[in-house]
Amino acid sequence: MKVFTSKLCTTLHTPEFEFHGGAQSQHYECPERREAILKYLESHSDSFEVTEHVEDFGYEPIKRVHKQGFLNYLETAYDEWILEGGHPNGVMPSTIPHYRLARLGGQTPTNSLTNAGEYCFDMSAVITKDTFKAAWNAAQVTLTATKDLVRVADQYEKGLAAGTIVSREAPPGLYALVRPPGHHAQSDLCGGYCFLNNVGIAAQWLIDRPELRHKDGRPKKVAIIDIDFHHGNGTQELFYKTSNPLYASLHGRDAYPHFTGAATERGEGEGLGFSINVPLPRSTSDDEYVEALEKLIQEHIIPYDADYIIISLGVDTFKDDPIAGFLVTSEAYPRIGNAIRKIGLPTLFVQEGGYCVEKLGLNVGGILQGFLGKVAA
Ligand SMILES: [Zn+2]
């Protein structure tokens, strides 16, 4: 499996701390996460080929899902924050415009010390000096992998048509090893360690490509499956009113981000029925998780008849994750990868959460190995 990544995913975004449960703590979404995954992949070179080739797709694909004012804010927030006396660790909102906060005069804050809340919904998306560059880089790495997905999918379809590939049992897969992650980032809100929605940008890019359209003019269909422990409020918001892509998520019930991810959130208008939310209790075991994923695939993903699958790959479902977790063990991850493989479609995995650094390589590797039809080790 080809793996797309960049050293910049380690070096550019390095906040020193965040607040967790009211206390100052280490920043769990740390550079060591990428290093741990990379170490696993490089020690399993029979399965993985790592490339640091990154193409620049420019601003356009990012602007297709994020609003310009938000992008301007991300790009300039840190410098303004420092000029105005903010702490050098990075931008954190001190006031968030709660929906019951009366903004009777329609006021919009005018400086970064106060307007962080305008574009951020919590205190975990700390904007440092190079955060925008880091998020930009993660999006470009993901797009580079997405472009390659088109290539391998094309080969796969041609092989099936010519009979050189005899079944859909071993679909092609690629992996974008990126940070910061993206699935909590909405069109104009950062939060939950996320700034730009990598998966959303990739899905929209696939749908937008005129040369990828079917012969009858229909755009390609994308199904996003979000297996991070947390609900991908950002991805859901981006696509809540459209039928393409489909967004389906398995996540912790009553868990962060707390206000989204109910089973009753099903989309709106043309999008009604194309947001699928499956909240699961914290006590969810390996068998229960794999069964829930297989049920989601059978009931929603297969009938959707997508051309591409994109996986928001989080392994904070792990039982020992320091900030999340079901009762899921490392043994479950190859089974999860295998369930995704059985869909039989070209698949792009994009890294989201997972904070047990010690087991991160094994757990992410487990999913990817399972997709390749192997057992992790
Ligand atoms: Zn998560």
In the chain, the number of structural domains is: 2
- Note if 184 is an active site residue: yes
Catalytic residue among 184, 230, 231, 251: 184
Ramachandran region, residue 106 (left: φ > 0; alpha: ψ -120 to 50; beta: rest): left
CA 22 to centroid of ligand 1, rounded, Å:
19
In the predicted model, what is the mean pLDDT of the chain? 95
Instruction: Tell me the angle at which helices 286-296 and 332-341 cross, rounded to the nearest 10 degrees.
Output: 10
Q: What is the pLDDT of residues 207-248, one digit of tens each?
A: 999 999 999 999 999 999 999 999 999 999 999 999 999 999
Using DSSP bridges, classify how beta strands 308-313 and 222-226 pair: parallel, antiparallel or unpaired: parallel
Statement to judge: residues 86 and 233 lie in one domain? no
Statement to judge: residues 339 and 232 lie in one domain? yes
CA 277 to centroid of ligand 1, rounded, Å:
15
Please answer whether residues 182 and 196 qualify as being in contact, where contact means their C-beta atoms are separated by less than 8 angstroms.
yes
Statement to judge: residues 229 and 83 lie in one domain? no
Task: Please report, for residues 71, 92, 124, 128, 146, the alpha-carbon distance to residue 80 in angstroms, rounded to integers and kept in the order given.
Answer: 14, 13, 19, 11, 34
CATH number for the domain that contains residue 226: 3.40.800.20
**Under 8 Å CB-to-CB from 353, ≥6 apart: which residues?**
29, 181, 193, 228, 229, 230, 314, 315, 316, 324
Please answer whether residues 342 and 296 qualify as being in contact, where contact means their C-beta atoms are separated by less than 8 angstroms.
no
Domain presence at residue 307: yes
Q: Which residues surround ligand 1, an ion (CB under 5 A)?
A: 228-230, 314, 316, 353
Mean pLDDT confidence for 286-313 = 98
**Under 8 Å CB-to-CB from 266, ≥6 apart: which residues?**
272, 273, 274, 275, 276, 277
Q: Which of 119, 138, 162 is the last residue of a domain?
A: 119
Residue 1 one-letter amino acid: M
Q: What is the pLDDT of residues 342-375, one digit of tens each?
A: 999 999 999 999 999 999 999 999 999 999 998 7
Domain presence at residue 376: no
CA 377 to centroid of ligand 1, rounded, Å:
24
Rounded to whole angstroms, the Cα distance separating 173 from 235 reads 21
CA 107 to centroid of ligand 1, rounded, Å:
33
Statement to judge: residues 357 and 296 lie in one domain? yes
Domain presence at residue 327: yes
Mean pLDDT confidence for 154-177 = 94
Q: What is the pLDDT of residues 79-126, one digit of tens each?
A: 999 998 889 989 988 888 888 887 777 777 777 667 788 899 998 999
What domain range includes position 73? 68-119
**DSSP H or E segment with residue 118:** helix 112-119
Statement to judge: residues 157 and 104 lie in one domain? no
Q: What is the pLDDT of residues 256-287, one digit of tens each?
A: 999 999 999 999 999 999 999 999 999 999 99
Statement to judge: residues 115 and 134 lie in one domain? no
CA 355 to centroid of ligand 1, rounded, Å:
8
Domain presence at residue 33: yes
